[in-house]
Amino acid sequence: MYTVASHAGVSIATVSRVLGGDPRVREGTVDRVLESARAVGYRLNGAARALATRRHDTIGVVFPNLSGPYYAGVILGLEETANALGQSVLIAGTHGRPGSDELVLELATKVDGMVLFGRTVPDDLVSELAGRGVPVVLLARPQAASAPTVRAENRRSAGALTGHLLGHGHERIAFVGDPGSSPDADERWTGYRDAHRAAGMGAPAEPDVCAFREADGRHAALRALRRAPAPTALLCASDEIAMGAYAAAAELGMSVPGEVAITGWDDIPVARFLSPSLTTVRQPLAELGTRAAALLHAAIEAGEGEGEGAPAEVATLATEIVIRGSCGCDA
Residue 330 domain flag: no
10-residue mean pLDDT profile of the chain (331 residues): values are 85 78 80 85 58 70 84 92 90 79 89 92 92 93 91 97 97 96 94 96 91 96 96 97 98 97 96 97 95 92 54 88 95 57
Q: What pLDDT shows up at residue 262?
A: 98
Please check whether residue 98 is in contact with residue 297, taking contact to mean a CB–CB distance below 8 angstroms.
no
Both 135 and 78 in a single domain? Answer: yes
Both 181 and 133 in a single domain? Answer: no
Both 166 and 231 in a single domain? Answer: yes
Residue 324 domain flag: no
Both 95 and 135 in a single domain? Answer: yes
Residue 16 domain flag: yes
Residue 74 domain flag: yes
Q: What pLDDT shows up at residue 284?
A: 95
Both 169 and 258 in a single domain? Answer: yes
Q: What pLDDT shows up at residue 331?
A: 57
Burial letters 261-279, b for 16+ CB under 10 A, else e: bbbbbbbbeebeebebbbb
- Determine the Cα–Cα distance for residues 159 and 331; give it in Å rounded to an integer: 22
- Determine the Cα–Cα distance for residues 294 and 313; give it in Å rounded to an integer: 11
Please check whether residue 326 is in contact with residue 278, taking contact to mean a CB–CB distance below 8 angstroms.
yes
- Determine the Cα–Cα distance for residues 153 and 136; give it in Å rounded to an integer: 21
Domain that holds residue 29: 2-44
State how many domains the chain has.
3
Both 301 and 258 in a single domain? Answer: no
- Determine the Cα–Cα distance for residues 103 and 109; give it in Å rounded to an integer: 10
Residue 278 domain flag: yes
Both 273 and 311 in a single domain? Answer: no
Residue 126 domain flag: yes
Please check whether residue 214 is in contact with residue 244, taking contact to mean a CB–CB distance below 8 angstroms.
yes
Walk across the sheet containing 233-236 and list its strands. Answer: 173-176, 233-236, 261-263
Residue 113 domain flag: yes
Residue 328 domain flag: no
Both 99 and 162 in a single domain? Answer: no
Both 276 and 244 in a single domain? Answer: yes
Both 165 and 278 in a single domain? Answer: yes
Both 218 and 311 in a single domain? Answer: no
Instruction: Give the CATH number for residue 34.
Output: 1.10.260.40
Instruction: Give the CATH number for residue 163.
Output: 3.40.50.2300
Both 264 and 299 in a single domain? Answer: no
- Determine the Cα–Cα distance for residues 286 and 255; give it in Å rounded to an integer: 33
Q: What pLDDT shows up at residue 305?
A: 40
